[in-house]
Structure 1
Amino acid sequence: MAPIPKPTPSTLRLIQQKLEEDGDQWESVGIPAGDLGVECDRAVWLAFRRASTPEGIDWRKRRIFQRGEIEEERLLDLLRLAGVEVWGQQDRVRAAGGHLRGKIDGRALGLLEAPAKEHVVECKSAKQEVFRKVAKEGVKLGKPEHYATFQFYMYGLGIDRVLYLMSNKNDEDIHYERVPYDAEFAMRLVARAERLISMPTPPGRLCTKRDDFRGQFCRQAAVCWGEERPRVHCRSCIHSTPLMHGNAGWDCARWSKPLSLDEQDEGCAAHLFVPEMLVGYEQVDADEAAETITYRTPSGDLWTDGAPQQEAA
């Protein structure tokens, strides 16, 4: 006989419920700085277009995020303890018409190694396996996605040093590393982001097959491989275009107007998918007057985009 599961205490269950209710299901306005280290162009493009359902944030993930915020403040307090001046927490960094964006953990002045040199501060915490790799190899090799993020911050702020701090979640050890600005690397990052933002259709995949280990945890995989259709809103629509000036603006050619964030999320009845986002669908007809595009679906049925009464098989 299987053992009877131990019930979750009522108070704990309420705490878990409140954690999930009180947190927002946040999506970035553009390409977050943390995605600059993502190797696959297609994954970055699909995320920018908000193709997939947002990641669900359960109570455990909420606490993980909160722990990261707490650890960030603890690391900054250690700098203050050493007499280092710390300011600029959550200062914004923008590029590529405001579509490429991030917030720094802080700025620091007065490090004993370089008292007069201002540094961007990047704070992280990690489990022992990751920590040991970074401590041994340095952040550039040990955690290249973090390296890409703070190189962009230095690019955007005009600062040529970063102080990278990582705490070990297992034993409270601290990795302390000063990293110089690599202008060529940072400019390539920004140029890549600008290229992806400006692309009207999705680029090719990094992965060559569905079970490629490199895509094992990709949030865009289901849409990327045609297992799900993209979400219906302005960013998946053939009529919309991101603007490369201003602050993360989008424009609608169908209605000849700029789009607010709320309008982008809501979409409209004139929505038509970017055809290349419909993986496995073959376009067989288009009716300009009716504003519809007809496809043959992967199952062989016909489906007309722009005719909301019909559903794809």
Structure 2
Amino acid sequence: MGLLDKIGKRIDVAIVEAHEKEERRGHLGASQIGHECYRYLWHVLHWSYKEKFTAKQLRLFNRGTLEEDRIIGWLRSVCEEVLPVNPKTGKQWRISKFNDIFSGSCDCVIKFNGVWALTEFKTHGDKSFKELIKHKSVKASKPVHYSQMQVYMRELKLDRALYIAINKNTDEMYYEEITIDLLESDMQLSKAEAVITAESGLDMPKLSESPLWWQCRVGMCEYHHLCHKGAAPDKNCRTCAYSSPVQGKVWYCKKHNHNLETIQTQLAACGDYKPADVFPQSEEPVTFSLK
């Protein structure tokens, strides 16, 4: 192998290392709340498991961010107003509820033909994009995206949104106007509140008790080994029975009666760590295979 042949491997390593150094998401996200499984959302908020990704996967995830500037440029050529940031704050549009434990950031707000609307940009693989085209409905083919937009519209007091999808394989575009559905947004906010205030993970039902259910299988859900194989969670303050969320990224430890104010503190976990009762009371993880 020559000197230059090593560059690709070095780049892959650098991409993965950079991702590992990124700060964990401290809140329950609006982009996640449309997921059907309450237990899944509880695991997300409680950092039950941090999934590992390859450099290729991380590059694919990053495509959405890279597409934003292109799409905003196209919108500016046809809209009266294009606001990627909130003019009142100078920062990305953001909504938050329940002491900021639930929050989300919006892509853009536009004014077209005198009408203000939320815009949401999504990149799709070819199979996902074709499914969207087949149904011609975000609600039918991408219900998580639909729920996300409904929460944003409700909190920003907008009555419509423009969903803009791009096929990563072909650059084909799909546009759909979505109108406000207050019942949907209220349902999702009630779900968020239930997950945040749950006294135990056991209070949050699984989507299915069967490990063979298609949405619960290995490869479909990263928490399969926790819900269906009895594996222990990642050890941190959020998977500890003594802690609970109080505001934003801040959690409270009932064992030591103090706030856990930083991500680093919560990741550390102390010697009094006790897995929450949704997990097996064991320090040793159960071995399992992802194959």
TM-score (normalizing by structure 1): 0.80
Q: Any idea what the Cα deviations from partners look like across 1:232-268, whole Å, max 9, x if unmatched?
A: 221112211222xx43432111121111122211121
Equivalent residue for 1:129? 127
Task: Name the CA distance, whole Å, in 2 between partners of 1:108 and 1:156.
Answer: 16
Given that 2:249 and 2:261 are in contact with CA atoms closer than 8 Å, whether structure 1 keeps it comes out as no
Query: Cα deviations across residues 183-222 of structure 1 (Å, max 9, x unaligned)?
Result: 1110110011101111121222212322221112111111
2:46 paired residue number: 49
Partner of 2:193, secondary structure, is helix
How far does residue 25 in structure 1 lie from its aligned partner after superposition? 4.5
Greater radius of gyration (CA): 1
Pick closer, same or farther for the CA change 1:82–1:16 going to 2, 3 Å. same
Among the aligned pairs, what percent are the same residue? 24
**Counterpart Cα distance in 2 of 1:274 and 1:74:** 45
Supply the distance in 1 between the matched residues of 2:208 and 2:175 (Cα, whole angstroms): 34
The CA distance in 1 between the partners of 2:74 and 2:144, in whole Å, is: 24
The CA distance in 2 between the partners of 1:130 and 1:175, in whole Å, is: 12
Tell me which of the two structures has the higher relative contact order, counting C-alpha pairs closer than 8 angstroms and 6 or more residues apart: 2
CA contact (8 A) 2:232 2:285 kept: no
Alignment-derived partner of residue 257 in structure 2: 256
Q: Is residue 95–residue 156 contact of structure 1 (8 Å, CA) maintained in 2?
A: no
Q: Quick one: which amino acid aligns to residue 209 of structure 1?
A: S
Matches within 5 A, 1:142-161: 142-161=141-160
Corresponding residue number in structure 1 for 2:27: 30
User: What is the Cα deviation at residue 14 of structure 1?
Assistant: 2.0
Cα distance between partner residues in 1 of 2:237 and 2:181: 36
C-alpha separation in 2, matches of 1:226 and 1:199: 23
CA shift for structure 1 position 15: 2.0
Unaligned stretches of 5+ residues in structure 2: 86-91, 287-291
- Is 2:12 the counterpart of 1:16? yes
| 1:86 is the counterpart of 2:85 | no
Paired position in structure 1 for 2:222:
219
Q: Contact conserved, 1:123 with 1:166, CA < 8 A, in 2? A: yes
- Say whether residues 1:117 and 2:115 are aligned partners: yes
**CA offset digits 1:3-23 (Å, max 9, x no partner):** xxxxx9222222222222333
Q: Against the structure 1 CA distance between its residues 159 and 83, is the aligned structure 2 distance closer, same or farther, given a 3 Å change threshold?
A: closer
Can you list the C-alpha shifts for 1:258-307, whole angstroms capped at 9, x where unaligned?
Answer: 111222111211221222322xx6xxxxxxxxxxxxxxxxxxxxx6x7xx
Equivalent position SS for 1:86: strand
Say if 1:162 and 1:179, in contact at 8 Å, map to a contact too.
Answer: yes
Partner residue, 1:294: none
Which residue number in structure 1 is paired with residue 66 of structure 2? 70
Structure-1 residue corresponding to 2:138: 139
**Cα distance in 2, alignment partners of residues 163 and 312 from structure 1:** 45
Deviation at 1:26, TM superposition (A): 4.6
The question of whether the paired residues in 2 share the 8 Å contact of 1:25 and 1:56 is answered with no
- Distance in 2 (CA, whole Å) between partners of 1:44 and 1:129 is 26
Identify unmatched segments of 5+ residues in structure 1: 1-7, 282-302, 306-310
> 1:121: how far off?
0.9
Distance in 2, matches of 1:78 and 1:42, equals: 40
Matched residues, number: 272
One-letter code aligned to 2:24? E
Name the structure 2 match of 1:210. Answer: 211
The alpha-carbon deviation at position 312 of structure 1 amounts to 7.2
Structure 2 distance, partners of 1:208, 1:22, is 36
Q: Verify the 8 A CA contact 1:234 1:271 in the aligned structure 2.
A: yes
Q: Which residue of 2 aligns with 1:297?
A: none
Q: Secondary structure at the match of 1:275?
A: coil
Q: Give the Cα–Cα distance (whole angstroms) in 2 for the partners of residues 184 and 96 of structure 1.
A: 19
Conservation of the 8 A alpha-carbon contact between 2:162 and 2:178 = yes
CA contact (8 A) 1:97 1:248 kept: no
- CA-based RMSD of the aligned residues comes to 2.3
Give the whole-Å Cα distance in 1 for the aligned partners of 2:250 and 2:27: 10
How has the CA–CA distance of structure 1 residues 253 and 92 changed in structure 2, closer, same or farther, with 3 Å as cutoff?
Answer: same
Q: Deviations over 1:52-111 (max 9, x none)?
A: 1x12232112211222212222122111122442113432221122111111111111x2
The equivalent residue for 1:267 is 269
One-letter amino acid of the structure 2 residue matched with residue 15 of structure 1: I
Q: Secondary structure at the match of 2:31?
A: helix
Residue type of the alignment partner of 2:84: G
Residue range with higher mean Cα deviation, 132-141 or 43-52: 132-141
